[in-house]
Amino acid sequence: MPLVHISMRHGKSDAYRKAIIGNIHRAMHETFDVPEDNGFMTLTEHDATNFRFSASYLGIARTEDVVFIQITANDTRTAEQKKALFQRIAQLLSEHPGLRPEDVFVNLIEVRKENWSLGNGLAQYA
């Protein structure tokens, strides 16, 4: 049950933003076994003043197109699944909407299953 928050610079088209959301979901479906109907995602756009990044941290050349992707998910995946997710997200976003792999920044936050309430005030996974 991932929850995804995407942050990026303001100014891209609706089609560009939809491609980012759709391809992140596709990558989670393919590598994390996330069901097709399990899509809880937000995309927030920021102006230059409110969006800061390092253009060269760890020797990776980032541009103004960098996208931050933060995924909160259950702590049930293997290291191999996580690596596959990161690679697949970068690959799919490179294909469409044409984002450079260097500009794909992913952060995975893992939580225990009982830390979710998906509605009705219930802990559905506990």
Cα–Cα distance, 112 to 126 (Å, whole number)? 9
Q: Find, among 8, 3, 5, the residue nearest to 67 by Cα.
A: 8
Pick the catalytic residue from 2, 35, 97, 101. 2
Q: What are phi and psi of 76, to 5 degrees?
A: -115, 0
Residue 97 is among the residues annotated as catalytic for this protein:
no
Place of tokens 């760890």: 58
Q: Which residues of 62-77 are buried (b: 16+ CB within 10 A; e: fewer)?
A: beebbbbbebbbbeeb
Contact in structure between 76 and 116 (CB atoms under 8 Å): no
The catalytic residue positions are 2
